[in-house]
Structure 1
Amino acid sequence: MNRLSKIKIFLGLMYLMVVTSVVIAFFYFGANTFLSPSYLIENKNYIFGLRDQNLILIGSVYFFFAIIWVFLMGFGTPLIIFAGFALGTVLGSVLSIFSFTIGATLLYCFANHYFKDLVEKYLGNKYSKLKNNINENELSYFFSLRVVPGIPFPIKNLLPVLFNMKVKNYFLATLFGEAVPIIISVSIFSGISSAFQSNKDFSLNLLFAPEIFSPLLALALMSLVANYIKKKYFN
């Protein structure tokens, strides 16, 4: 085994150790409770006050944290909840779209260099059909893959390793493919945030508030379109 191979193995193991440590720390220290509805309701005044006084700082920290989080194969939902609740639809969506795209692209480049064999071993057989079809037009095909449901976000970020996708195409497909789902999802939690600020009761009636119902309707329509794409191109 040459020196380069040893370095790649070392870096790969270090990455896996960091990912494992972050996941353990996230749940051990109860970080997930900060995103629970009960916590957000009980601390809404403190959260909104902190946001209004430090919006630029919070936005900057969120942006760089999201890049690292996605690079470490974290799920996007916790970030989306925070972005919508604390940053609002516009700023939360913009920061999420670009941070998710950058983090996913860094993960793809890293995995393609250090974990290519591992990705092919665990995902190659399951997604062999994708590997055969995507070579026809990798940009549009991966864009469609970004929209369809049923594949976890970290797995979507790693799948292009199977067919050695160009980094430019990966970046563009992720940027535009994740944009609509992110905007809709952030809008939902931003609507909930606005309802909290207006001191509305947290009940089912809240779902029919325009700021929440509209993005929920858009989410339902997007799901129909995504399922149509899935049936037509991925079955």
Structure 2
Amino acid sequence: MTRNTQNKPMSDTTHMPRRGLARHIPLMVILAVAMIGYFTLRDYLSFETLRDNREALLAWRDANYWAMAGAFVALYIVIVAFSLPGAAVASMTGGFLFGLFAGTVFNVTAATIGASAIFLAARWGLGQALTARLEASEGTVKKLKDGLRENEISVLFLLRLVPAVPFFVANLVPALVGVKFRNFLLTTALGIIPGAIVYTWIGVGLGGVFDRGETPDVSLLWEPFVIGPIIGLCVLAALPIVIKAVRGRKGV
């Protein structure tokens, strides 16, 4: 009996670190591939590559539309999930190959799936430990945590709508602070639509841009008629947070 009692804790102690390390493997793989891809793929996932291969791509699309669509979505998911360079190029390629409507649908679908992969990888790893610490925290950290929980959807929409927030950050941070996955999925799928439409729209006109020997003008995102509605959506997303803060101060 004594030997069995002693062996059981030893066995548990042996396996717990392994399980803890295994939780971090998905995020570690994503970070490793992201670093390797940043240095090795920048010259391949580019407008030049698209320009040089556009005739072959268009011919294959015309002959195998759904196979091309499936391959495009799969590649875009990989780019987003591993934070590889070329997400903007991929979004414009969607418009170039499939038009505004279908291109936007494919872009949003792929980006949402890829973002979810990063979220879940971070949640299974660092997110579990950090969320547990936040749950046990007090003081200022507890107030910030409670404020985030009360305004979770609004904050997540803001992360998606504000153009200055990097996509990788908007995928990773929510997982680390313990937001609900269904809220993350909903706000990602809806929140990236405005930006996706703009990039896909630019992609629709890439053929003419290449014919003129020019470079696509991504500054269109900052034009008043584009950034104005996006800022309006940001204000709408922030409005519930402001209303709750005002009511809290007034004790309503």
- The answer to whether residue 106 in structure 2 is matched with residue 95 in structure 1 is yes
| 2:83 alignment counterpart | 73
SS of 1:33 mapped into structure 2:
coil
What residue number does 2:138 align with? none
Point out where structure 2 has 5 or more consecutive residues left out of the alignment.
1-12, 132-140, 243-252
Provide the TM-score with structure 2 as the length reference. 0.68
8 Å CA contact 1:185–1:215 kept in 2: the answer is no
Larger Rg: 2
- Kindly provide the amino acid, as one letter, of the partner of residue 36 in structure 2: I
**8 A Cα contact 1:66 1:79, kept in partner:** yes
Does 1:219 pair with 2:230?
no
Matches within 5 A, 1:42-121: 42-74=52-84, 76-116=87-127
| Post-superposition offset of 1:67 | 2.6
Q: Determine whether 1:3 maps to 2:10.
A: no
Q: Which residue matches 2:181?
A: 167
Native 8 Å contact 2:109 2:189 kept in 1: yes
Return the alpha-carbon distance in structure 1 between the equivalents of residues 185 and 114 of structure 2.
10
**How far did residue 149 of structure 1 move?**
2.4
Q: CA deviation at 1:168?
A: 1.1
**RMSD, aligned α-carbons:** 3.6
Q: Secondary structure at the match of 1:164?
A: coil
Equivalent position of 2:32 in the other structure = 20
Please tell me whether residue 157 in structure 1 is matched to residue 171 in structure 2. Answer: yes
Give the 5 Å matches for 1:21-36.
21=33, 23-25=35-37, 27-28=39-40, 31-36=41-46
TM-score by length of 1: 0.73
**Aligned to 2:227, what secondary structure does the other structure show?**
helix
3-state DSSP of counterpart to 1:149: coil
Q: Equivalents in 1 of 2:233, 2:108: separation in Å? A: 19
Counterpart residue number, 2:197: 183
Q: Among the aligned pairs, what percent are the same residue?
A: 22
Aligned length: 217
Return the offset for 1:178: 0.6
Report the 3-state secondary structure (helix = DSSP H, G, I; strand = E; otherwise coil) of the residue aligned with 1:43: helix
Distance across 1 between alignment mates of 2:145 and 2:66: 42
| C-alpha distance in structure 2 between counterparts of 1:109 and 1:146, whole Å | 17
- C-alpha change, 1:33 and 1:88, in structure 2 (3 Å) is farther
Distance 1:40 1:219 in 2: 25
Of 137, 142, 156, the residue aligned with 2:156 is 142
| CA gap 1:58/1:5 in 2 versus in 1, 3 angstroms | farther
Go from structure 1 to structure 2 and tell me whether the alpha carbon gap of 1:230 and 1:188 turns closer, same or farther (over 3 Å shift): same
Instruction: State how far apart, in whole Å, the 2-side matches of 1:14 and 1:185 are.
Output: 29
Q: Structure 1: how far apart are the matches of 2:99 and 2:118? A: 27
Q: Aligned-pair distance for 1:217? A: 6.0
- In 2: Cα distance, 1:166 partner to 1:227 partner: 21
